[in-house]
Amino acid sequence: MAGRDYLGEFEHIIMLALLRLEDRAYGVTVRQEIELRTKREVSIGAVYATLDRLEKKGYVKSRRSDPTPERGGRSKRFFRVTAQGVTAVNQIQRALSSMSEGLGMIGSYS
Amino acid sequence: MTSQARFVQPPRFATWLVNLFTVPQDDSIVGDLFEEFRNLASRSGVGFARRWYWRQAVKTAASLFTLGWLAAPWSTAAAVLGGFLLAGYVNGLPDKALSVATDRYLLYWSSHFQAYLWLLRGMLIGHIFASLFVGSMVALAAKGREMVATMTLALIFCAMAGIGCLWLVAKTGEIASLSGLLWYWADPLAIVVGGIIVRRRRSPMTAVGSA
């Protein structure tokens, strides 16, 4: 994989959220999962902008559901991680764990 | 869900703002905002949900603006550059018309100065119509990214006018020159309005009442 194809921080977080949510991953659940776990407010636009980028890279695939009344007759766009996406996540996870190996207490550096 | 929350609608103008930047026929982003708005309204109250919705709408529009640029940087830049050159030509037309009218009816204007002042005001309106035309042309060229292209062009003109006015104030020391900015910013605003008109004709979702 070329260096430029590495996942950015927010891309990484979104990919992990998609993997956690499995087949329940759409805009609302992804945004809420990130807010719940990272404690930072995220806009739905930022989530979609990143998901579109990931889809172009081939790490994510999307499909549309039928419109539902609780969404004012609008459809949902569900996302899932592709095999290529799983490889990218594994690669960044390995890189991060390798970089933090032996650093036991990172808090002591601050 | 409380009965009030079930029937309450999110702010229409905020929805309209988001729809200006979404891909036509893609209603999933507005659907997500709508779903969360309803849930928040029933849990935390309508006022809280409305404030949340507005915050999300503004941030989402900003994200989609950036996304629009990243999706097609070259064609968007070409539309903006074309609009910049077109504005240079079209915005000069009212001045040329004024110059011709002044020369041809010089005797008349000298005895009807009040009418000449009205003609000058008419020229300012002519500028606004010229900018509307430029905004429409840029939006037609940047299909699917109408607002990205027209807002970028408008921001460029706003920045140019702002820098020009600050330079004038620095040179003359007359703070009152800054009041001219309001007139200079009318043209960029007309460019954006031109973009909105084209966008609305292409995508019915951008109608304010579609919230």
Contact B30 A74 (CB under 8 A): yes
In this prediction, residue B36 carries a pLDDT of 94
A73: left (phi over 0), alpha (psi -120 to 50) or beta: left
**Does residue B211 register a pLDDT over 50?**
no
Residues B54 and B105 in one domain: no
B64 contacts in chain A (CB < 8 Å): 45, 48-49
Q: Are B134 and B193 in contact (CB under 8 A)?
A: no
Query: How far apart, in whole angstroms, are the C-alpha atoms of residue B139 and residue B82?
Result: 11
* Facing residue for A45 by CB, picked from B31, B35, B63: B63
| Cβ proximity of A79 and A60 under 8 Å | yes
Domain final residue pick, B69, B95, B124: B69
The pLDDT assigned to B38 comes to 93
- Domain end call among B50, B69, B88: B69
Euclidean distance between CA atoms A85 and A10, whole angstroms: 14
Same domain, B44 and B80: no
Same domain for B7 and B20, yes or no, is: yes
Q: For residue A98, how many other CB atoms are within 10 A of its CB? A: 9
Q: Is B91 found in the same domain as B151?
A: yes
Residues B92 and B63 reside in one and the same domain: no
Which residues of chain B does A25 touch, with a Cβ-Cβ cutoff of 8 Å?
Answer: none
If asked whether residues B50 and B127 sit together in one domain, one would say no
User: Are residues B127 and B29 part of one domain?
Assistant: no
Q: How far apart are CA A90 and CA B115, in angstroms?
A: 76
Helix axes B46-71, B146-172, angle to 10 degrees: 90
User: Would you say residue A4 has pLDDT above 60?
Assistant: no
Kindly report the backbone phi and psi dihedral angles of residue A64, in degrees, each rounded to the nearest multiple of 5, phi listed first: -100, 145
Which ipTM value was assigned to this complex?
Answer: 0.85
pLDDT of residue A2: 45
Mean pLDDT of B166-171: 84
- pLDDT more than 70, % of chain A: 89
- Tell me the per-residue pLDDT of A57-98, one tens digit each, with 9 for 90 and over: 999 999 999 888 878 889 999 999 999 999 999 999 999 889
**Lookup: tokens for B172:** 């003359």
Select from A60, A95, A45, A10 the least CA-distant residue to B18. Answer: A45
Q: Tell me: do B119 and B185 sit in the same domain.
A: yes
Chain B residues within 8 Å of chain A (Cβ atoms): 18, 26-36, 38, 55-56, 59-64, 66-67, 70-71
Residues B28-42: tens digit of each pLDDT: 999 999 999 999 999
B101 and B190 co-located in one domain: yes
Closest residue in B to A65 (Cα–Cα): B28
Contact by Cβ (8 Å): A16, A8: no
Select the residue of A45, A46, A72 nearest B34 (Cβ to Cβ). Answer: A72
B100 and B132 belong to one structural domain: yes
Same-domain check for residues B78 and B48 = no
* pLDDT for B5 beyond 80: no
**pLDDT band of A105, cuts 50, 70, 90:** low
Same domain, B93 and B160: yes
**B148 close to B161: Cβ distance less than 8 angstroms:** no
Tally of structural domains, chain B: 2
Does A76 contact B32 at a Cβ distance shorter than 8 Å?
A: yes
Tell me the two tokens of residue A3.
Answer: 């260096």
Q: Which two tokens stand for residue B192?
A: 């954006």
- List of chain B residues whose C-beta atoms are within 8 Å of the C-beta of residue A11: none
Range(s) of the domain holding residue B35:
3-69
Mean pLDDT to the nearest integer, B158-179: 83
In this complex, which of B31, B59, B64 lies closest to A72 when CB atoms are compared?
A: B31
pTM reported for the whole predicted model: 0.79
Residue at a domain's end among B26, B44, B69? B69
Chain B contacts of A79, Cβ < 8 Å? none
Q: What is the pLDDT of residues B91-105, one digit of tens each?
A: 888 778 877 877 777
